[in-house]
Amino acid sequence: MAGNDLGSLLGGLLGGGKAVGPANLLGALLGTLGSDGGANPLSGLLQQLEDGGLREKTGSWVGTGENQPVSGAEVAQALPTQALDSVAQQAGLSPEEAADQMASVLPEAVDKLTPEGSVPEGSLEDILGRR
């Protein structure tokens, strides 16, 4: 599934309907991370963020409690530079602007994609299709 398609689905999940702004960026990021052959780019994204020092925050998003906010600077530091640069370039933004926009939707998006308090099995398309 292309990044725009993921962005549209994420936009709907987040109440935006169409692939606009941050949901589209997040869709593009998940598409970029999933291009390495991983079946579930959500797991890959969470692992990248955890490895980048955001384990406590990502745990709050996946868990059933309150979601901790994250800053664009934290997102930028935790993600691979190449992935963030690619997504920013696709959107016509600076990497910092892209990170800020993704930070605004990551807690809610991950929370909604993990309603049972854990990352569901299957591809992202399967997960979004169940929503």
Structural domain of 50: 3-130
- Check which CATH number belongs to the domain holding 68 and give it: 1.10.10.690
Whether the predicted pLDDT of 39 surpasses 90: no
Q: Which residue has the higher pLDDT, 2 or 28?
A: 28
Span 48-70, average pLDDT: 94
What is the distance between the alpha carbons of residues 112 and 76, in angstroms, rounded to a whole number? Answer: 22
| Distance in angstroms (rounded) separating the CA atoms of residues 83 and 80 | 5
State how far the Cα of 3 lies from the Cα of 129, in Å rounded to an integer: 15
What distance in Å separates the CA atoms of residue 56 and residue 26, rounded to the nearest whole number? 20
**Angle separating helix axes 95-113 and 81-91, nearest 10 degrees:** 100
- Separation CA 52–CA 76 (nearest Å): 9
Select the more confidently predicted residue: 100 or 19: 100
Number of independent structural domains in the chain: 1
